[in-house]
Amino acid sequence: MIPAKLEDLTREELIDLVLAQAEQMAKFQTLLAQLQADNEVLRVKLEKLQKPPTNSSNSSQPPSRDQKGNKPANRPKRKHGPPAGHEKYERRFVAEPPAGLELNRSFGARLETTVVYYRQEQHMSYERTQAALLNLHGVHLSQGGIDQIMQRAGQAAATEVATIQAAIQDSEVVNSDETGARVDGRTWWHWVFCTLTAVLHVIQASRASQVIEQVMGEVEVAGWGSDCLPAQLKAKAKRHPLCLAHQLRNLQAVVDRYPALWWATAMQSLFRAAIQLHHQRAELPPDPFQNQLARLEHLCDWLLKRPLSQPEAVKLQRRYHKHRQHLFVFLYRTDVPPTNNVSERALRPAVVHRKVTGGFRSEWGAKTYAALASVIDTAALKGVSAFAAIQPLMGTPALPLPSE
């Protein structure tokens, strides 16, 4: 603060006052220089803004860089046609397309059957199916198109599965087996149910007996053949014949472990003799057949009473004791096979499909495969080829083959 009277200040106070004013003047000079510089920048910008815009008419600028004018507002267009309230008169003639040339069809029934055959029976991937269609048939089909064809085939096959399931339920004897399946990166189970007239494939996330209950309902059959899986033994049946092929392999494991153990070898000989007698049934008169059967039953009882100490042998002996009444059911019923090979053969293509393709990427893909396998395997029992079994699912071909 400056005193009211400078005369009252001492020499030192006057010097301090002059120095403070000099410092303040220096700050004002710096601020003035900055403001002048900013003013010059703003002046240059203002001159540029006040200049007329540069375009292709007043410079070498190309027309593509000219500023485009605003698009004029759309004017309401006059509606064409009859005035409001005019009575319409319209008649459409739509002919029914021939079979195989329906309006919603992009490809013929025979080509779609070929796609399903490649995917289902030849275990081709999407890429290989595309290549085969292009190289062999001259048709370029996208993977999405293949997908749609497979979905339609699965839906058509699903309608046939109900009939196949009813045939399984009406049968006296059913053979069943299961194997692993990969669905969307998870382990599921591929079940098969076989009779003399039908084969049903089911892919479920469970290996429990509930799958059998879903297929069979409350039906109780005379015989249920399996490989002795606990879930299979819970099926409603009067008899549960065991697969002797599995038992022979289990006994062979005991023989390999204990070569000097005669009991396992004797049980193998007994089971092989029973299978041979089953195959000779049609050639033998009733009395000799019954005599040989009685000897086999007596020998089985004697072997099951032998004392054993080896754990693996004791385990098998207990199994045969528990299922004693189910060992030779096939010698009392002609419709019961001695092994469960029919189920294993039905599952073998599914195992090949899993190893070649790596499994199913979606649940609908697994369901489609199971439904198609049911239709194809059931048709095979009647001597119908896989291609001929698939074709009715895809519709009637528009044109017959040249040989027809």
Element holding 108 (H helix, E strand) = none
CA distance 100 to 82: 40
CA distance 46 to 237: 100
Question: Residues 228-276: pLDDT tens digits?
Answer: 899 999 999 999 999 999 999 999 999 999 998 899 999 999 999 999 9
Question: Residues 164-193: pLDDT tens digits?
Answer: 999 999 999 999 999 999 999 999 999 999
Task: Say yes or no to pLDDT of 1 above 50.
Answer: no
pLDDT at 397: 79
Least confident of 5-19, 161-175, 197-211: 5-19
**How does strand 199-204 pair with strand 221-225?**
unpaired
Distances (CA, A) of 161 to 13, 37, 75, 368, 371: 114, 90, 62, 11, 6
Please compute the mean of the pLDDT values over residues 146-164 and round it to a whole number.
94
pLDDT at 87: 75
Is this structure's pTM higher than 0.75?
Answer: no
Please compute the mean of the pLDDT values over residues 133-143 and round it to a whole number.
92
**Band of pLDDT at residue 62, cut at 50, 70 and 90:** confident
CA distance 199 to 381: 9
CA-closest candidate to residue 227, choices 311, 308, 323: 323
**Band of pLDDT at residue 73, cut at 50, 70 and 90:** confident
CA distance 170 to 166: 6
Question: Residues 94-122: pLDDT tens digits?
Answer: 777 776 666 677 788 889 999 999 999 99
pLDDT at 343: 94
Whether the Cβ atoms of residue 177 and residue 343 lie closer than 8 Å to each other: yes
Please compute the mean of the pLDDT values over residues 276-303 and round it to a whole number.
93
